[in-house]
């Protein structure tokens, strides 16, 4: 063996490396998030929001469900920084506690979408043929309905509650996610390295887990992040029309719905929950966009 490598070393001039620095996916990733302004700020903001949600009992100035009857529909003041609602509950406290319900609902919904959507998409792309056709026609039928209408239908069957709302939103987003996964996986399916992997004796599950998933992982992560934004909006929307979180649970969508009745008397009631939803969804989308730029393996180390 030794003599081969020696003879070949002399021939090595042509086959040189393009770049020299060794790279590691994880290290690079953290570094890039740190160096990408949009990603850094939005990630920072989201972490802050999550922390506030976790420590809401310590941070909130009042009990979110305790009515102050002497201060109905009071505007922002020293006592109630963001004002009070129609039965005198402190809006700031409700907003802080609302982070919990809102973000949990969105994450669970996205977890449902991700698991089932990825599974359907991968299976559909990998097996192909009749299975692919059947699965994708079902997805097409579901896609024909807007997500929110589908979620409405599901929640109407299950009954209105926050748990059912997140299940409904999760399931309603599956068709879109499965389609994206399938599309991404199809480009992998026809690539040379899958054939090469088969030629060294890989099993189907191995190919799916080791060849497909890492390759479409970036795409999936990006879309998952973007779906979080959609899921927050959709659960809030369901709560807004009274099918999600039930009062008195503080949830942004529900609060928005309560606020709209007093939009002329008490502008703060609808404005602050609306702003909260907007800013979180915005930063989630920013993060998703930045991740998409980052996750092209060819741009790594550049």
CB 150 within 8 A of CB 143: no
DSSP line for 80-119: STT-B-TT--BHHHHHHHHHHHHHHHHHHHHHHHHHHHHH
1 contributes a contact to other proteins by CB under 8 A: yes
- Nearest Cα neighbor of 210 from 225, 193, 224, 227 is 193
- Nearest Cα neighbor of 277 from 243, 241, 228 is 228
DSSP line for 8-30: HHHGGGSS--S--S---HHHHHH
Cβ closer to other proteins: 146 or 297? Answer: 297
Q: At closest approach, how far in Å is the CB of 64 from other proteins?
A: 45
Cβ closer to other proteins: 33 or 52? Answer: 33
Cβ closer to other proteins: 212 or 227? Answer: 212
Per-residue contact flags (x/-) with other proteins for residues 97 to 136, judged by CB under 8 A = -------------------------------xx-------
Q: In sequence order, what are the residues at sequence separation of 6 or more whose Cβ sits closer than 8 angstroms to the Cβ of residue 260?
A: 270
**Secondary structure class of 130 (helix, strand, coil):** helix
Per-residue contact flags (x/-) with other proteins for residues 200 to 239, judged by CB under 8 A = xxxx--x---xx--xx-xx---------------------
Per-residue contact flags (x/-) with other proteins for residues 26 to 65, judged by CB under 8 A = ----------------------------------------
| Of the candidate residues 30, 196, 263, 275, the single one contacting other proteins (CB under 8 A) | 196
Binding site for other proteins (CB under 8 A): 1, 4-5, 7-9, 11-12, 14-20, 22-25, 128-129, 191-193, 195-203, 206, 210-211, 214-215, 217-218, 297-298, 300-301
């Amino acid at each position: 063996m030794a003599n081969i490598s020696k003879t070949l070393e002399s021939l090595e001039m042509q086959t040189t490396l393009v770049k020299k620095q060794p790279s590691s996916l994880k290290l690079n990733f953290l570094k890039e998030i740190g160096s990408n302004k949009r990603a850094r700020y939005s990630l920072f903001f989201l972490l802050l929001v999550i922390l506030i949600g976790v420590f809401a009992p310590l941070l909130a100035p009042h009990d979110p469900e305790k009515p102050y009857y002497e201060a109905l529909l009071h505007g922002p003041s020293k006592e109630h920084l963001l004002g009070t609602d129609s039965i005198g509950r402190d809006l700031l406290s409700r907003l802080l506690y609302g982070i919990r319900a809102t973000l949990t609902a969105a994450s669970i919904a996205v977890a449902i979408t991700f698991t089932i959507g990825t599974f359907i998409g991968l299976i559909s792309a990998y097996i192909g043929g009749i299975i692919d056709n059947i699965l994708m026609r079902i997805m097409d039928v579901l896609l024909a309905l807007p997500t929110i209408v589908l979620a409405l239908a599901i929640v109407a069957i299950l009954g209105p509650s926050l748990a059912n709302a997140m299940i409904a939103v999760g399931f309603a987003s599956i068709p879109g996610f499965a389609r994206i996964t399938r599309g991404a996986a199809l480009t992998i399916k026809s690539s040379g390295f899958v054939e090469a992997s088969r030629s060294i004796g890989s099993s189907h599950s191995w190919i799916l887990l080791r060849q497909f998933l890492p390759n479409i992982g970036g795409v999936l992560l990006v879309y998952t992040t973007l779906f979080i934004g959609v899921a927050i909006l959709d659960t809030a929307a369901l709560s807004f029309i009274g099918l999600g979180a039930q009062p008195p649970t503080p949830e942004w969508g529900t609060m928005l719905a309560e606020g709209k009745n007093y939009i002329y008397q008490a502008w703060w009631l609808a404005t602050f929950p609306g702003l909260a939803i907007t800013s979180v969804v915005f930063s989630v989308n920013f993060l998703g966009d930045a991740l998409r730029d980052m996750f092209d393996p060819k741009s790594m180390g550049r």
